[in-house]
Chains A and B, each alone.
Chain A
Amino acid sequence: NAGVTQTPKFQVLKTGQSMTLQCAQDMNHEYMSWYRQDPGMGLRLIHYSVGAGITDQGEVPNGYNVSRSTTEDFPLRLLSAAPSQTSVYFCASSYSLQGSYNEQFFGPGTRLTVL
């Protein structure tokens, strides 16, 4: 199993550009989520999905879109990049939200810089 994979590892954008951060998992996990990590603030939830076709907003969703057409993939789209979106982005997945199977497995992260 590759686990949770993210591409790209690094990205530099100009203000106003759009892009998609890719996330995929091969563990047949139902739950997937996107976080951003900023210095001194820990990780904050952007969007999440409890299954294919179902997505919802987290703590900081503005400026981001997601979709979940398959169980495996959960891309994060930046519609019009802003310097405030400079951050490290993590994708995570888990089998369940409850019980013994709610451990979240994290991808390696994408460092995004918006100039």
Chain B
Amino acid sequence: AQTVTQSQPEMSVQEAETVTLSCTYDTSENNYYLFWYKQPPSRQMILVIRQEAYKQQNATENRFSVNFQKAAKSFSLKISDSQLGDTAMYFCAFMNFGNDMRFGAGTRLTVKP
């Protein structure tokens, strides 16, 4: 079964600085999708960014970008110019071409003013 590991339970960053959240996964499949979700205190799950494994180019969405290393099975999230509103839990998720979505345990990010 696929597993997703987020090794940083908590992280903090100063406002306007850059932070990188780590994620590794284990799979024997060649085609799959990877996601980063944000969960603010409101509890709502919000998609931040997605990556298709067959695409070599790293995905970017405004201040959010990923470093996708397929051979190393690594999928880190970089947040640039951190804002107070980025304070949240961040979950890395893996989905194969079927319907089995697996989430990591999450990283609690605090942006300090």
Q: Which residues of B contact A103 (CB under 8 A)?
A: 47, 50
Q: Is the CB of B101 within 8 A of A106?
A: no
Q: Mark B57-86, 1 if CB is under 8 A from A, else 0.
A: 000000000000000000000000000000
A-side interface residues, number (CB < 8 Å): 25
Q: Does B98 contact A (CB under 8 A)?
A: yes
Extra pairs beyond A42-B103, A48-B99, A102-B95 (20, CB < 8 Å): A31-B99, A35-B103, A40-B105, A42-B4, A42-B91, A42-B105, A42-B106, A43-B45, A43-B91, A44-B103, A45-B100, A58-B100, A59-B102, A92-B45, A97-B97, A98-B97, A102-B33, A103-B50, A104-B47, A108-B42
Q: Smallest distance from the beta carbon of B23 to chain A beta carbons, Å?
A: 11
A residues 38-56 near B (Cβ < 8 Å) are 40-45, 48, 50, 56
Q: Which residues of A contact B43 (CB under 8 A)?
A: 88, 108-109
